[in-house]
């Protein structure tokens, strides 16, 4: 908030009195000190010196990119952050134009993000990744059909994200580690920035209390969007807060633990659900809570490194969740119980402060009653004197009692999510208990 106030104060934050300049590489390199620090992100150069003391990661972290192109570093750490809006008063100008592709472009470009014209798709790419898709289109009076030839057998609905807005059509196809983009401009020039995450505006349809501080939000995708968030992945929600676009990650859930997990009959699931805890002193969630039914919030494409094939042939699934760290477990649990025939046991250990904080407690208890493969154990850190269940924090003693393998050879997966120290301590305890890396998945940003 202090930073936003400063950007709105009218102070000259670039030292250029509002002038935008063209910056050469030589010039950029000169501005590499804390009190004179320029950084380039995606071709735009910012004077970040005034922002130093507000950077949540600290000054040293920002200085790692001083006087240079910080795009890769930025993408590694917080690709979702809307720097264009946060730093707009620090914009010095653009980098001076260089030839569009350097001579050794083909060797450098390892990941194909977006579809290059055929002439630029190199042999290196063909060898490293799946062969590039191609596309075709045809049109009748009322319909434009776009066909994307992926040459892959196992394309699911959640591998394709389609948005159609005004005169532009955009389809993103995810094949293994590659993401391919088809973008068709039907008549007007396209303004969209394809470098970051893509957002579409979704309408708030309902908001229900789940606990004293957690709510189930239902958002409706635009009618011409097809987007299914894969199991274990999250999206970013974006809202303008005092004139600046702010984003935070959230993990979509099913509308209840009892909605069967199967491919939708219609190829368009238009609703997307979130369980979100409102922190009264938080920055983002009070704004989210203020939204009225019918208001809009922007939703990004999904991200995350959970691989659904980890669940194949699984026998024992253990879920360790604290607070809203329960959210990624919802789809994992639902998917595993409906789609993994080998599954023998799913156990959830759910850590909360008090009984009132437990999300979907009665649904969890009903599910345990209905499906004998599922067990749930609640652990409270600050229970009332009436609580007869388990108490305390995540600990080696609790884990070794809870995580009983059926046999030495049974295929096991342990998923972990909660406040960062909870997840980090849990990971260490699991390694000490001799679970291998492949048997553990921790959900983080």
Segment contacting ligand NAP by CB under 6 A, of 7-15, 85-93, 116-124, 321-329: 321-329
| Residue 307 contacts ligand NAP per CB under 6 A | no
CB of 379 to ligand NAP, least distance (A): 7
Does residue 328 belong to the site contacting ligand NAP (CB under 6 A)?
Answer: yes
Triad 57, 59, 60: Cα angle to 5°: 90
The dihedrals phi and psi of 325, each to the nearest 5 degrees, come to -60, -5
Please report whether residue 418 would count as binding ligand NAP according to CB under 6 A: yes
Residue 221 makes contact with ligand NAP by CB under 6 A: no
**Residues at the interface with ligand FAD (CB under 6 A):** 234, 248-251, 274-277, 279, 281-285, 324, 327, 445
Q: Which is nearer to ligand NAP, 228 or 357 (CB)?
A: 357
The listed partner (ligand NAP, ligand FAD, none) that binds 50, CB under 5 to 8 Å by sort, is none
Pick one of ligand FAD, ligand NAP, none as the site partner of residue 421 (Cβ within 5 to 8 A by kind): ligand NAP
- Return d(Cα 322, Cα 317) in angstroms, integer: 17
Per-residue burial over 39-76, b = 16 or more CB atoms within 10 Å of its CB, e = otherwise:
bbbeebbbbbbbbeebeeeebeebbebbbbbbbebbee
Binding pattern to ligand NAP, positions 339-378, x when CB under 6 A?
------------xxx---x---------------------
Q: In what order do the strands lie in the sheet with 440-442?
A: 390-391, 374-380, 345-352, 316-322, 412-417, 440-442
Q: Please tell me whether residue 324 binds ligand NAP under the rule CB under 6 A.
A: yes
Check residue 102 for interaction with ligand NAP (CB under 6 A): no
Q: How far is the CB of 328 from ligand FAD (least distance, A)?
A: 7
Residues forming a β-bridge with 277: 214
How far apart, in whole angstroms, are the C-alpha atoms of residue 343 and residue 336?
7
Q: What is the 3-state secondary structure (H, E, C) of 58-82?
A: CHHHHHCCCCEECHHHHHHHHCCCC
285 binds, among ligand NAP, ligand FAD, none (CB under 5 to 8 A by kind): ligand FAD
Q: Which of 43, 58, 264, 419 binds ligand NAP (CB under 6 A)?
A: 419
Q: What is the number of the residue whose Cβ is closest to ligand FAD?
A: 282
Compute φ and ψ for 255, nearest 5 degrees.
-70, -25
CA–CA gap between residue 374 and residue 346 (Å, rounded) = 5
Residue 131, classed as helix, strand or coil, is coil
Structure tokens at 340: 């993994």
The contact set with ligand NAP (CB under 6 A) reads: 234, 251, 277, 322-325, 327-328, 351-353, 357, 381-382, 393-394, 417-419, 421-422, 425, 443-445
């Amino acid at each position: 908030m202090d930073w936003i106030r400063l950007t709105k104060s009218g102070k000259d934050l670039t030292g250029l009195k509002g002038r935008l300049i063209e910056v050469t590489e030589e010039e950029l390199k000169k501005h590499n000190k804390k009190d004179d620090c320029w950084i380039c992100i995606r071709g735009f150069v910012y004077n970040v010196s005034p922002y130093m003391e507000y950077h949540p990661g600290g000054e040293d972290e920002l200085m790692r990119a001083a006087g240079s192109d910080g795009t890769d570093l930025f993408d590694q750490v917080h690709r979702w952050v809307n720097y264009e809006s946060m730093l707009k008063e620090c914009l010095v100008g653009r980098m001076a134009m260089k030839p569009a592709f350097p001579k050794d472009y083909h060797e450098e470009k390892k990941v194909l993000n977006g579809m290059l014209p055929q002439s630029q798709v190199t042999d290196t790419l063909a060898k490293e990744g799946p062969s590039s898709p191609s596309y075709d289109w045809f049109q009748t009076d009322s319909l434009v059909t776009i066909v994307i030839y992926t040459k892959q057998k196992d394309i699911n609905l959640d591998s394709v994200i389609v948005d159609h807005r005004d005169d532009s059509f955009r389809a993103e196809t995810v094949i293994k580690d590659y993401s391919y983009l088809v973008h068709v401009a039907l008549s007007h020039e396209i303004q969209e920035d394809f470098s970051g995450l893509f957002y579409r505006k979704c309408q708030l349809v309902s908001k229900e209390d789940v606990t004293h501080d957690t709510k189930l939000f239902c958002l409706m995708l635009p009618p011409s969007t097809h987007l299914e968030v894969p199991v274990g992945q999250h999206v970013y929600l974006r809202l303008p807060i005092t004139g600046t676009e702010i984003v935070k990650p959230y993990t979509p859930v099913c509308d209840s633990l009892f909605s069967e997990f199967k491919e939708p009959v219609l190829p368009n699931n238009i609703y997307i659900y979130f369980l979100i805890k409102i922190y009264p002193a938080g920055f983002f969630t009070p704004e989210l809570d203020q939204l009225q039914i019918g208001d809009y919030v922007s939703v990004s494409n999904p991200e995350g490194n959970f691989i659904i094939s980890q669940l194949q042939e699984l026998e024992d699934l253990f879920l360790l969740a604290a607070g809203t760290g329960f959210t990624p477990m919802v789809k994992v649990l639902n998917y595993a119980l409906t789609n993994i025939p080998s599954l023998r046991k799913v156990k959830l250990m759910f850590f909360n402060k008090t009984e009132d904080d437990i999300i979907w407690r009665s649904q969890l208890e009903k599910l345990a009653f209905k499906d004998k493969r599922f067990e749930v154990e609640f652990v409270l850190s600050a229970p009332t004197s009436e609580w007869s269940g388990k108490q305390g924090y995540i600990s080696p003693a609790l884990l070794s009692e809870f995580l009983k393998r059926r046999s030495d050879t049974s295929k096991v997966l342990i998923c972990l999510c909660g406040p960062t120290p909870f997840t980090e301590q849990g990971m260490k305890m699991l390694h000490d208990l001799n679970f291998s890396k492949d048997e553990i998945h921790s959900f983080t940003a």
